[in-house]
Amino acid sequence: MPVMLERCLELLAPAFDRENPVVIDATLGMGGHSEAMLERFPHLTVIGIDRDLMAHRMAGERLQRFGDRFKPVHAVYDKIEQILLDRQLQGVDGILMDLGVSSMQLDERERGFAYSYDAPLDMRMDSTEELTAAVVVNEYEEHQLRRIIRTYGEEKFASRIARGIVEARANQPLKTTGELVAVIQNVVPVGAQRKGGHPAKRTFQALRIEVNHELEALERAVPAAINALNLGGRLVAMSYHSLEDKIVKQAIAEKARSSAPKGFPVELEEHKPELKIITRGAEPPTETEIEENSRAASAKLRAAEKIKMTKVAS
């Protein structure tokens, strides 16, 4: 079951109440959200973006029955503007972003996303890219590892873990997730391991974000998504950790504020906000949704509607 599926459909539905609406599923994955949208809205066309070729194979089979109402694109979601140009589209009516690693990627053990399976240190969402977790772990300087693990993993034992990695690789390169987990378990205090969940969880998150340049792509993607919306179009974004949510929140908030100078007596049209926020803060999943899909537990959903056009597409 896709995360917060019914709420996503509910939020997007008003934007699809027009002739031949188009939505971008910016994180196609296995195609669960796309399938639900195509079923629920019979005149809708979905452009499904994903950098993961395996996702395209699986989603393509799942969505084949919808014919040309489903249009797959192999790309990172920060390329939205180019994708619209390639398809000669002025804009789209909805954009859905389900951020982070997909359950499909976690389940494919040999790809090295999960700390619970022993597999090569890979973690690439796009297997055609060169940077892998093995390169990061074995070639980055200790201070770089410390920064990544602390910043992207929000890991308070980042210094110990970075030092432990450097000391371990001095004997021989770390090649598998199991070897990395052993290093982390060896340096994180036993008391913290008992209280804070799996000790490798935050480090694996940090490495995945670094390998796939996730936050840099997201910082470009959210403004691009806002620009791509038609008037009345809606953006729905789900994030799973605070760094993602902060980027989404700030990008939406910036466009939902008036740009009128402080104390200006009249708000001119050019100063009016571009977006209207349609969720109260970050919406959490319901208890039922968490029971149906444990991955939803950390989800935060934000949505906004385009209420003013500021850019004419070329």
User: Residue 123, by phi and psi: left (phi above 0), alpha (psi -120 to 50) or beta?
Assistant: left
pLDDT band at 100 (very low <50, low <70, confident <90, very high): confident
Residue 275 has pLDDT above 50, yes or no: yes
274 and 194 together in one domain: no
Same-domain pairing of 11 and 139 = no
Do 206 and 228 fall into the same domain? no
For residue 140, pLDDT over 90 is answered with yes
Same domain, 188 and 121: yes
> In degrees rounded to 5, what are phi and psi of residue 49?
-105, 135
Question: Which CATH number fits the domain that encloses residue 167?
Answer: 1.10.150.170
**Domain stops at, among 153, 188, 212:** 212
Largest CA distance in the chain: 69
* pLDDT class of 314 with cuts at 50, 70, 90: very low
User: Does residue 312 have a pLDDT over 50?
Assistant: no
The Cα 148–Cα 155 span in angstroms is 9
- Residue at 312 is within a domain: no
In this predicted structure, what is the pLDDT of residue 117?
84
Q: Looking at the predicted structure, is the pLDDT value of residue 313 above 50? A: no
Number of domains in the chain: 2
pLDDT mean over 159-182: 97
Residue 272 lies in a domain: yes
pLDDT, residue 268, reads 64
pTM confidence score: 0.88
118 labeled part of a ligand binding site: no
Q: Is 10 within a domain?
A: yes
Q: Does 31 belong to an annotated binding site? A: yes
Residues 115, 74 share a domain: no
User: Does residue 100 sit in the same domain as residue 225?
Assistant: yes
% of the chain exceeding 70 in pLDDT: 92
Give the other-Cβ count within 10 Å of 117's Cβ.
17
Residues 34 and 180 grouped into a single domain: no
Is residue 234 predicted with pLDDT exceeding 70?
yes
Q: Is 197 annotated as a binding residue?
A: no
Predicted local distance difference test score (pLDDT) of residue 293: 81
Tell me the C-alpha distance between 298 and 198, whole Å: 16
CATH code of the domain covering residue 271: 3.40.50.150
Question: Averaged over 150-157, what is the pLDDT?
Answer: 94
Instruction: Give a yes or no: residue 159 inside a domain.
Output: yes
For residues 314 and 19, the answer to whether their CB atoms sit within 8 Å is: no
Q: Are 80 and 157 members of one domain?
A: no
Q: How confident is the model at residue 276 (pLDDT cuts 50, 70, 90)?
A: very high
Could you tell me if residue 26 is inside a domain? Answer: yes
109-137 mean pLDDT: 89
| Res 22: pLDDT | 98
Residue 167: predicted pLDDT: 97
94 and 230 co-located in one domain: yes
Q: Which of 111-115, 197-201, 203-207 is predicted least confidently?
A: 111-115
pLDDT band at 210 (very low <50, low <70, confident <90, very high): very high
Residue 157 and residue 188 in contact, taking contact as beta carbons nearer than 8 Å: yes
CB 35 within 8 A of CB 4: no
Give residue 53's identity as a one-letter amino acid code. Answer: L
| Mean pLDDT score, 129-155 | 96
User: Domain for residue 139, yes or no?
Assistant: yes
Query: Among 212, 243, 263, where does a domain finish?
Result: 212
Confirm whether 258 is domain-assigned.
yes
Q: How far apart are CA 95 and CA 21, in angstroms?
A: 11
pLDDT at 265 over 70: no
In a domain, 93, yes or no: yes
Q: Is residue 50 a known part of a binding site? A: yes
Average pLDDT over residues 198-224: 94
For range 23-47, the mean pLDDT:
96
Q: Which of 26-35, 228-237, 283-292 has the lowest mean pLDDT?
A: 283-292
Average pLDDT estimate for 75-85: 95
Quote the domain boundaries for residue 283: 5-104+215-306
12 and 83: one domain? yes
What is the mean predicted confidence (pLDDT) over 141-152? Answer: 97
Distance between CA atoms of residues 299 and 98, nearest Å: 9
Pick from 164, 195, 212: which residue ends a domain? 212
Residues 294 and 221 in one domain: yes
Residue 252 has pLDDT above 80, yes or no: yes
115 labeled binding residue:
no
